Amino acid sequence: MDLRAELLKSIWYAFTALDVEKSGKVSKSQLKVLSHNLYTVLCIPHDPVALEEHFRDDDDGPVSSQGYMPYLNKYILDKVEEGAFVKENFDELCWTLTAKKNYKPDRNGNSVVSHQDAFKLWCLFNFLSEDKYPLVMVPDEVEYLLKKICTAMNMELNSCELDDYLSQEPQGQEGLTVWQFLDMVNSGRFLRGIEQEAISMAVEEVYQEVIEDVLKQARSPHVLGYEPCPAPNLVLISISPVQGYLWKRGQLRRNWSERWFMLKPSVLSYYMSEERKEKKGSIALDKHCCVEVLPDRDGKRCMFCVKTSSRTYEMSASDTRQRQEWTLAIQTAIRLQAEGKKSLHKDLKQKRREQREQRDQRKAAKEEETQRLKQLQEEKERKLQELELLKEAQRQAEILLQEEEQRRRQQHEEMQRTLEIQLREAEQARASMQAEMVLKEAEAERQRKRILELEAMQERLQEALQQEVKARQDEEAVRYAQARLLAEEEEKLKQLMKLKEEQEEYIIKTQREKQVLKQEMENKNKCLEEAQKQLEEVRVNRQRVDQDVMAAQRKLRQASTNVKHWNVQMNRLMHPIGPGDKRSNVSGGVFTGYQPLLSQRDSSLK
């Protein structure tokens, strides 16, 4: 079954539950809440304005299911990725919405199944129901599901009683709704004398097998009362859960540990215990894997191994029967992988549906043939009566009968050709579905690459965020330093104001001193004027003294001339007469001898 079809079935129940007036329409406010919850459980980014934009031209009145479907397909279902969400959470949301309105268990607490078991039966009903709305489950599927639950409790279903119940139920032959089915189960008509705990365990077992794809081991076909289909490899089977404790040998330490194993078509998972809270590992199964029985050794018995392309896993069962069940079940899983089947029960459901269609076609053809034969018989009787009256009428009747037989044969051949054409179209549709699966796998690969790119982008964004945090820390440090500098500047500003006040005081003091100095200068100017007057008197006296000095100089020059003359005379008398320069030297020496005296006189005069 396609994932979109599975989701649509549950969403249909939620939508109809919100349709309180049963008008086929739901208010936009309720659809907003439903859409928001669907975004949450399906792990899709929420777009709060998409619904308003989608119904912008339809502000008045509620929205029908046909009007909601384009939005549901575009903004929700097209964005759903298989494996990206928990399917059970999605089903619980839709079940909660629809159960409040439609599920009415016994108020006295006498219901056969609990509320949680009713939810699981609802999920099983959705899985087995036809892809037509309103959803119903045909009687064959009802019998199939009840037989599986009874088989899980080691009891046999009374098919005759079920047929009687369906015949009494209105439209029971066409199928039951889920609420009719739950009412039938809660009535206790088919599960008399069985404790609720046993029923709960059986429902849980069937739920794990069908919904969670926990792989099962095939039993003989007659257990469920079905006969093998004449088509090749098309057998309706009953199955028992393959999950339980096994001893597993480690790869590195080579010690044996007891683990709870659970087998699905593509993987064999093992946990610490049956609560399945701590998963220890898993073994991926494909068409290249194989299972082999090993001889007893190392104190372990009933050993077998699962060989994959990368490793061999050794395990030990409690007894030979358990080992045989596990080996057969694992071989079944490997065969499913080799055939390219992802879910055993989806394939079985499709095969049962094809069987019902073929059976209905055969039944319709048989009824048509019976009706035609009846008409032919009546025609023949009438012709025989006419034959008794007229032999000519008998011959004409025979001619008409031959023509009718020929026409019937032609119709039969035409019907056979039509069935062959339909068969070829089905084969073509299957080929197109396989091609579409290849395209979807390619699309999934592109989505995985996109996820890797987004993870790389997220790492780069985290690095940028770390850099931004570091920059903010640096900015905080700079701000702290700036605050410290502002405090220092404020302190210096206080000192500057203090210095300014001191300077103003100093200026006032200086002005006072300046006034004092000005007074002193005035006094000094007065003294200077008096000194200038005295200087004038001194200059006058100096001029008079200079005149006296000039007179003395004249006298001195005259005296020096006389001295030079007497010196020359003395030199001539005391030395012989030499070159002319000695004369000059004598005269110069006499003059230089008076030079200090003249300079001393001038300084004293000054």
Residue 257, domain CATH: 2.30.29.30
Q: Determine, yes or no, domain membership for 314.
A: yes
Per DSSP, what are the bridge partners of residue 38? none
Q: CA-CA distance, 89 to 76, in Å (whole number)?
A: 16
- My answer on whether 67 and 166 are in the same domain is yes
Q: Determine, yes or no, domain membership for 65.
A: yes
Q: What is the pLDDT of residue 95?
A: 92
- My answer on whether 11 and 90 are in the same domain is yes
- My answer on whether 191 and 59 are in the same domain is yes
Contact partners, residue 143, CB within 8 Å, separation at least 6: 157, 159, 162
- My answer on whether 109 and 167 are in the same domain is yes
Is residue 218 classed as helix, strand or coil in its secondary structure? strand
- My answer on whether 23 and 77 are in the same domain is yes
Q: CA-CA distance, 329 to 327, in Å (whole number)?
A: 5
| Longest CA–CA separation in the chain, Å | 225
Q: What is the pLDDT of residue 171?
A: 66
List C-alpha distances in Å: 345 to 214, 287, 531: 10, 19, 139
List C-alpha distances in Å: 581 to 118, 433, 562: 158, 148, 20
Q: Determine, yes or no, domain membership for 183.
A: yes
Q: What is the pLDDT of residue 235?
A: 32
How deeply is 130 buried, as exposed, middle or buried, from its count of CB atoms within 10 A (0-12, 13-18, 19+)?
A: middle
Q: Determine, yes or no, domain membership for 198.
A: yes
| Positive/negative CA dihedral, 489, 490, 491, 492 | positive
Contact partners, residue 30, CB within 8 Å, separation at least 6: 18
Q: What does DSSP say about strands 63-64 and 290-294: parallel, antiparallel, or unpaired? A: unpaired
Range of the domain at 313: 243-342
- My answer on whether 187 and 255 are in the same domain is no
Tens of pLDDT, residues 254-276: 888 899 898 888 888 898 888 88
Q: Determine, yes or no, domain membership for 417.
A: no
The neighbour count for residue 68, using CB atoms within 10 Å, is: 22
Q: What is the pLDDT of residue 172?
A: 59
Of residues 12, 34, 19, the one with CA closest to residue 135: 12
In contact, 242 and 215? CB cutoff 8 Å: yes
Q: CA-CA distance, 146 to 176, in Å (whole number)?
A: 13
- My answer on whether 90 and 172 are in the same domain is yes
- My answer on whether 184 and 281 are in the same domain is no
Q: Determine, yes or no, domain membership for 79.
A: yes
Q: Determine, yes or no, domain membership for 228.
A: no
Q: CA-CA distance, 32 to 500, in Å (whole number)?
A: 73
Q: What is the pLDDT of residue 582?
A: 46
Q: Is the peptide bond before 576 cis (omega within 30 degrees of 0)?
A: no
Residue ending a domain, among 342, 377, 403, is: 342
| Type of residue numbered 179 | W
0.85 exceeded by the pTM? no
- My answer on whether 37 and 177 are in the same domain is yes
- My answer on whether 192 and 249 are in the same domain is no
What total of structural domains would you count in the chain? 3
In contact, 222 and 238? CB cutoff 8 Å: no
pLDDT < 70 positions in the chain:
1, 51, 55-61, 106-110, 170-173, 215-242, 342, 393, 575-606
Residue ending a domain, among 342, 357, 374, is: 342
- My answer on whether 148 and 266 are in the same domain is no
- How is residue 497 written in tokens? 């104001």
- My answer on whether 272 and 180 are in the same domain is no
Q: Determine, yes or no, domain membership for 71.
A: yes
Place of tokens 């809660």: 186
Q: What is the pLDDT of residue 219?
A: 36
Q: CA-CA distance, 99 to 117, in Å (whole number)?
A: 13
Residue ending a domain, among 472, 494, 516, is: 494
